[in-house]
Amino acid sequence: MPDDVFAYSAETQASVDRARQQSIGTLLHRTAQRHPDKIGVIAGERRVTFADFDAAVNRCAAALSDAGLSQGERLALVCHNSWQFGVLNFATARLGVVLVPVNFMLNAEEIAFILEHSGSRAVVTEDSLSGTVQKAIEVAGIDVPIRGWVNLGGTPAADGWTDVDTWIDGDRNPGAPDVHVADDDPLRLMYTSGTESKPKGVLLPSRSLISQYLSCIVDGGMEHDDVEAHSLPMYHCAQLDCFFSVDVYLGATSIILPGADAGTLLATIEREKVTKLFCPPTVWISLLRHPRFDDTDLSSLRKGYYGAAAMPVEVLHELGRRLPDVRFWNFYGQTEMSPLATILRPHEQLERAGSAGRASLNVETRIVDDENTELPRGEVGEIVHRSPHAMLGYYRDEEKTAAAFADGWFHSGDLGVMDDDGYLAVVDRKKDMIKTGGENVASREVEESLYLLEGVAEVAVFGISHPHWIEAVTAVVVPKDGVTLTEDDVNAHAKEKLAGYKRPKYVVFAEELPKNPSGKILKRELRDRHGDLAKND
Any domain includes 274: no
Which of 173, 203, 233 lies at the terminal end of a domain, its last residue? 203
**Residue 197: is its pLDDT beyond 60?**
no
Compute the distance between CA of residue 278 and CA of residue 302 in angstroms, rounded to an integer. Answer: 12
Report, as an integer, the average pLDDT of 147-157: 96
Per-residue pLDDT, 3: 61
Any domain includes 258: no
When the pLDDT of each residue in the chain is averaged and rounded to a whole number, the result is 93
**Residue 402: is its pLDDT beyond 50?**
yes
Per-residue pLDDT, 437: 66
Query: How many CA atoms lie less than 13 Å away from 520 in the CB half-sphere?
Result: 15
Any domain includes 231: no
Report, as an integer, the average pLDDT of 138-149: 96
Q: How many domains does the chain have?
A: 2
Of residues 227 and 531, more confidence is placed in: 227
449: number of Cβ within 10 Å: 20
> Tens digit of pLDDT for each residue in 498-523?
878 789 999 999 999 998 776 778 88
**Residue 194: is its pLDDT beyond 60?**
no
Which of 153, 169, 203 lies at the terminal end of a domain, its last residue? 203
Residue 420's Cβ-count burial label (10 Å; 0-12, 13-18, 19+) is exposed
Q: Model-level pTM?
A: 0.83
180 CA to centre of own chain: 28
**Residue 240: is its pLDDT beyond 70?**
yes
Query: Could you give the C-alpha distances from 83 to 46, 61, 152, 463, in angstroms and in order?
Result: 8, 15, 10, 41
- With bands split at pLDDT 50, 70 and 90, how would you rate the model's confidence at 468? confident
> Tens digit of pLDDT for each residue in 7-51?
899 999 889 988 999 999 999 999 999 999 999 999 999 999 999
Report, as an integer, the average pLDDT of 97-110: 92
Report, as an integer, the average pLDDT of 405-434: 88
Percent of the chain surpassing pLDDT 90: 78
Query: Could you give the C-alpha distances from 66 to 70, 166, 167, 177, in angstroms and in order?
Result: 9, 13, 10, 11
Query: Could you give the C-alpha distances from 160 to 92, 140, 157, 427, in angstroms and in order?
Result: 21, 17, 8, 50
**Residue 488: is its pLDDT beyond 60?**
yes
**Residue 214: is its pLDDT beyond 60?**
yes
Are 214 and 387 spatial neighbours (Cβ–Cβ below 8 Å)? Answer: no
Any domain includes 241: no
Query: Could you give the C-alpha distances from 219 to 93, 325, 423, in angstroms and in order?
Result: 26, 19, 15
- Give me the DSSP letters along 441-505: EEHHHHHHHHHTSTTEEEEEEEEEEETTTEEEEEEEEEEPTT----HHHHHHHHHHHS-GGGS-S
Which of 175, 203, 231 lies at the terminal end of a domain, its last residue? 203
**Residue 267: is its pLDDT beyond 80?**
yes
Any domain includes 34: no
Range of the domain at 55: 49-203
User: Which CATH number is 150's domain given?
Assistant: 3.40.50.980
User: Which CATH number is 488's domain given?
Assistant: 3.30.300.30
Amino acid, res. 330 = N
- With bands split at pLDDT 50, 70 and 90, how would you rate the model's confidence at 138? very high
Of residues 42 and 308, more confidence is placed in: 42
- With bands split at pLDDT 50, 70 and 90, how would you rate the model's confidence at 196? very low
Give kind and range of the element (H or E) at residue 165: helix 165-168
**Residue 155: is its pLDDT beyond 70?**
yes
Are 433 and 440 spatial neighbours (Cβ–Cβ below 8 Å)? Answer: yes
**Residue 492: is its pLDDT beyond 80?**
yes
Query: Could you give the C-alpha distances from 316 to 137, 208, 304, 305, 485, in angstroms and in order?
Result: 44, 31, 11, 11, 22
Are 113 and 132 spatial neighbours (Cβ–Cβ below 8 Å)? Answer: no
Any domain includes 80: yes
**Residue 335: is its pLDDT beyond 50?**
yes
Any domain includes 187: yes
Any domain includes 312: no
- With bands split at pLDDT 50, 70 and 90, how would you rate the model's confidence at 195? very low
> Tens digit of pLDDT for each residue in 365-394?
999 998 999 999 999 999 999 999 999 999
C-alpha radius of gyration, the chain, whole number: 24
